Amino acid sequence: MRSLLFVPADSEKKIAKAMSVGADCLILDLEDSVAPARKAAARPMAAAFLRAARDRPNRPKLYVRINALDTAEWPADLDAVMPARPDGIMHPKPRGAEDVDRLAIALDHAEAKHGIPTAATRIIAIATEVPMAVLTLPTYLEASSRLEGLTWGAEDLSALMGSSATREAGGGWTSPYRLARDLCLFTAMAAGRQPIDTVYVDFRNTEGLAEECRLAARDGFTGKMAIHPDQVATINAAFTPTSAEITWAHEIIALFRDNPGAGALSLRGQMIDRPHAVRADRILIRAKLAGL
Ligand code: COA
Ligand code: MG
């Protein structure tokens, strides 16, 4: 999933638009983009959307962001949306994998109740929204097999940290938030889950978004969350391998196929060995996922 677009679930207008914007995943939001007084109205709207969207051909993945596990809201969120069979749940503000495992148990029960195959419902955790969570990231190495991906958040984290800014004047992350980002990336890769970059809130700034996507893709993230439909095309483009990358990958795979006994090889004056083959495989997997 390259682009994951948040859609506030209490907004008729945004829900109506969501399916047509080309996102690989929609995240129906019941959490921070929905005011407390609107949560009860948002739940059936999210469920109705899921029911209508589920059977559409070539549809995006459909996730729901529920409220955090330390609120009174999340059980009602799950009760409302699980009968409509979302592909996954986005888990905000977990303190570590223990919270994700608690959510997984609640999903076990909901799936049994609604005749959904066990563990069909995936989880993406926003793994750095509270200070404690940055310190417990290694717990995700043992997390529930439902865990599809890890992403990170700077907004809630910075509020709790008391930071007055998360970005330098030039736009780059300040040190604490770069640490959270980078540890999220390492943890996701070590745990074998998708690393997903956080939202870019300056949503009219297309150039700034493109640059942030470029840096994320360069470092190994394979997708990014979006808050506005106009961000989706930029994100999809940035996380789709280029034709030059795909050509290179085919060349590397062919080189190793034609030289089965070889360790190190040479290509246009560059040394090529095992890590290049691993990189080439990854590029071709991402190209296939992007429909190329
Ligand atoms: N999903 C689907 N549609 C959206 C959308 C979203 N996240 N954000 C905007 N749209 C729609 C608008 O309804 C509007 O539709 P229209 O063409 O039918 O009029 C169109 O896209 C253009 O929207 P625009 O007027 O540019 O933005 P806005 O001022 O209405 O909204 C935000 C700006 C930031 C409030 C809005 O994009 C939003 O709610 N984003 C999601 C916020 C969120 O989920 N935050 C939590 C995660 S951090
Ligand atoms: Mg939040």
pLDDT digits (tens, 9 = 90+) for 31-40: 999 999 999 9
Whether 261 has a pLDDT exceeding 90, the answer reads no
- Asked if residue 126 lies in contact with residue 151, where contact means CB atoms within 8 angstroms, the answer is yes
Q: What beta strand segments (E) does the chain contain?
A: 3-8, 25-29, 61-65, 88-91, 122-126, 147-151, 194-197, 223-226, 265-267, 270-272
Ligand 1: residues whose CB is within 6 Å? 5-8, 13-14, 17-18, 29, 32-33, 199, 203, 227-229
CA of 91 to the centre of ligand 1 (A): 21
Which listed ligand is nearest to 201 at the C-alpha?
1
Which band of pLDDT confidence, cut at 50, 70 and 90, is reported for residue 101?
A: very high
Q: How confident is the model at residue 198 (pLDDT cuts 50, 70, 90)?
A: very high
pLDDT score for 186: 98
HSE-CB at 19 with a 13 A cutoff on CA atoms is: 14
For each of the domains in the chain, give its residue range(s) and CATH number, in order of start: 3-238 (3.20.20.60), 243-289 (no CATH)
Quick check: 262 pLDDT over 90?
no
pTM for the complete prediction? 0.94
pLDDT in the model for residue 68: 98
Residue 290: per-residue pLDDT: 83
Evaluate if residue 173 carries a pLDDT over 90.
yes
Cα atoms in the Cβ-side hemisphere of radius 13 Å centred on 274:
2
Question: What is the residue type of 3?
Answer: S
Tell me if 94 sits within 8 A of 137, measured CB to CB: no
For residue 264, the CA-to-ligand 1 centroid distance in Å is: 51
Reported as a pLDDT band with limits 50, 70 and 90, residue 263 is confident
Tell me which of 64-73, 197-206, 239-248, 261-270 is least confident: 261-270
Percent of the chain with pLDDT over 70: 100
Give 290 or 154, the one with higher predicted confidence. 154
- 156: annotated active-site residue: no
Give me the mean pLDDT over the 115-141 stretch.
97
Q: Does the pLDDT at position 4 exceed 90?
A: yes
Residue closest by Cα to atom 18 of ligand 1: 13
Which residue type is seen at 36?
A: P
**Cα–Cα distance between 62 and 195 in angstroms, integer?**
18
Please say if the pLDDT value at position 176 is more than 90. Answer: yes
> Nearest C-alpha to atom 13 of ligand 1 is from which residue?
14
pLDDT band for 274, please (50, 70, 90 cuts). confident
| Summary mean pLDDT of the chain | 96
pLDDT bucket at 91, cuts 50 / 70 / 90: very high
